[in-house]
Structure 1
């Protein structure tokens, strides 16, 4: 049986600190998973809130029965959905990248060997990491701009930068995961090819 330090053929694993890369990968994978779960919980909460708001809108002025007469739409529901969805979208990106879930065109690379596929994946991961860092940087600047001008939402008067800050968590993690996947792909290219 191969140990983590050994390659698929029983020899020493190839690449740049492959043992450390796998240990870092476990930490990054766990963080990305928990962030994606948090994004899912936020979406569930937003869904429940939206249903309550829609039902409340339909019951306004319909009944004099006390429990129904106090029902109404959730104040600022659109603002909450906007901020919550921004967080959720960015919360899912790291998990998708970690699990190789982004769209690929396998028709062109299916004839290539595992190392060649790993080299193409490495190139894609480099481009995605650059994009992730660029997105995080621009999101950071947007957040600072919203904070500097003390911009708030219309109904709840919630500071607009809060939504940006929530999204920043996922954007930074996306950049970290993208950087890690470069290391993973490099080791796969230098080793036995892409792992399952």
Structure 2
């Protein structure tokens, strides 16, 4: 695996982790506000939750979740069914592995294509989040980059595996 691609996949996953930490912190603040609101309600007061909390979490998680796919592919961390494959010859196992790498790359590129179309439609519709009023189309960009990087990692593994068959 080229060092640059490995660093890119690792850095991308770390950035996804930063987004997840932000989601957790915002959620903790919102839950704390809910608890304080219940307590303040006993004394006739009120503590509002964060306005747009659901908007932020929905948009941030849609960006963060796919950011882990390239790293997972890099480490071959996806689910694999080895129960019956382990009884096949080494040559057959390698061919199945190569087929799965190519299938993953094709699937990731297919999803990238459809996500690009979705971005275009969301942009042309001028879709905004309900409470915060944020445009939704920019949150497609990390997903597109994630899926493209995932396909690139899988293709690199496919061509690297070519030498072993």
Q: TM-score, normalised by structure 1?
A: 0.76
Separation in 2, partners of 1:137, 1:90: 15
Equivalent residue runs for 1:104-183 within 5 Å: 104-183=80-159
Give the aligned CA root-mean-square deviation in angstroms: 1.9
Shift of 1:29: 1.4
Q: 1:59 aligns with which of 36, 39, 64?
A: 36
Name stretches of at least 5 consecutive residues in structure 1 with no aligned partner.
1-21, 190-196
Structure 1 partner of 2:79: 103
Separation in 2, partners of 1:112, 1:184: 21
Residue 45 (1) aligns with residue 22 (2): yes
Q: Select the structure that is richer in helix.
A: 2
Name stretches of at least 5 consecutive residues in structure 2 with no aligned partner.
none
Shift of 1:70: 8.7
Q: Secondary structure at the match of 1:106?
A: coil
Structure 1 residues 98 and 54, CA, compared in 2 at 3 Å: closer, same or farther? same
CA displacement 1:87-144 (0-9 Å, x = unmatched): 2211011111111111111122213344332211100011111100000010011011
Instruction: Figure out how many residues of one structure are paired with residues of the other and give that number.
Output: 162
Shift of 1:61: 7.1
CA displacement 1:12-47 (0-9 Å, x = unmatched): xxxxxxxxxx4x2x2211111111111111111100
Does the CA contact (< 8 Å) of 2:40 and 2:47 recur in 1? no
Q: Which of these two proteins has the greater Rg computed from alpha carbons?
A: 1
111-120 vs 125-134, which moves further = 111-120
Q: Secondary structure at the match of 1:125?
A: helix
